[in-house]
Structure formats: structure tokens, C-alpha cells
């Protein structure tokens, strides 16, 4: 049986929600080993005065293995 841990990250991108998710995953991978999954918990967008989306934001949960029982 594996022992897993979950951390929560916020990330944003000017391109898309998918890009923001990828950036969060890549940033986590710099310091966290054994990442097993990334769950997008929430998505939002920032808009300018004209209603145009200028930034995509995601709240992700990153699951990684810390050991086995």
C-alpha cells in the first residue's frame, strides 16, 4: 500500500487553463518527487474593462507518493 500526500497550488497563465495547469505541475516537479496526479480543483479568469480574458487561473491539488506501508 502506498502512502500519498496532497499539496495545493495556485497558478496562472495568459494562454489557457491547460497551460496554467501544466505550469503548476512543472513547478511542483522541481521540488517534489514521485508526482502521481494533478487534480484541477477550481478554475477562474481575470478580465479587463472590456470583458476580455487576460489571465487564466487554476487551483490544483498535486498528489505524490511519500512512501509505502
Determine the Cα–Cα distance for residues 11 and 54; give it in Å rounded to an integer: 14
Share of residues in the chain with pLDDT > 70 (%): 99
Superfamily in which the 2-68 domain is placed by CATH: Flavin-binding protein dodecin (3.30.1660.10)
Spell 27-46 as b/e; 16+ CB within 10 A means b.
ebeeebeeeeebeeeeeeee
Determine the Cα–Cα distance for residues 25 and 28; give it in Å rounded to an integer: 5
pTM for the structure as a whole: 0.87
pLDDT on residue 69: 64
The per-residue pLDDT for range 32-57, each reduced to its tens digit, is 999 999 999 999 999 999 999 999 99
pLDDT on residue 4: 94
63 has a pLDDT exceeding 90: yes
pLDDT on residue 7: 97
Domain boundary assignment for the chain: 2-68
Amino acid at each position: 500500500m502506498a502512502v500519498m500526500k496532497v499539496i495545493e497550488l495556485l497558478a496562472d497563465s495568459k494562454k489557457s487553463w491547460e497551460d496554467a495547469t501544466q505550469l503548476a505541475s512543472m513547478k511542483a516537479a522541481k521540488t517534489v518527487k514521485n508526482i502521481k496526479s494533478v487534480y484541477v480543483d477550481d478554475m477562474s479568469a481575470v478580465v479587463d474593462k472590456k470583458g476580455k480574458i487576460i489571465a487564466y487561473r487554476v487551483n490544483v491539488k498535486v498528489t505524490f507518493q511519500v512512501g509505502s506501508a
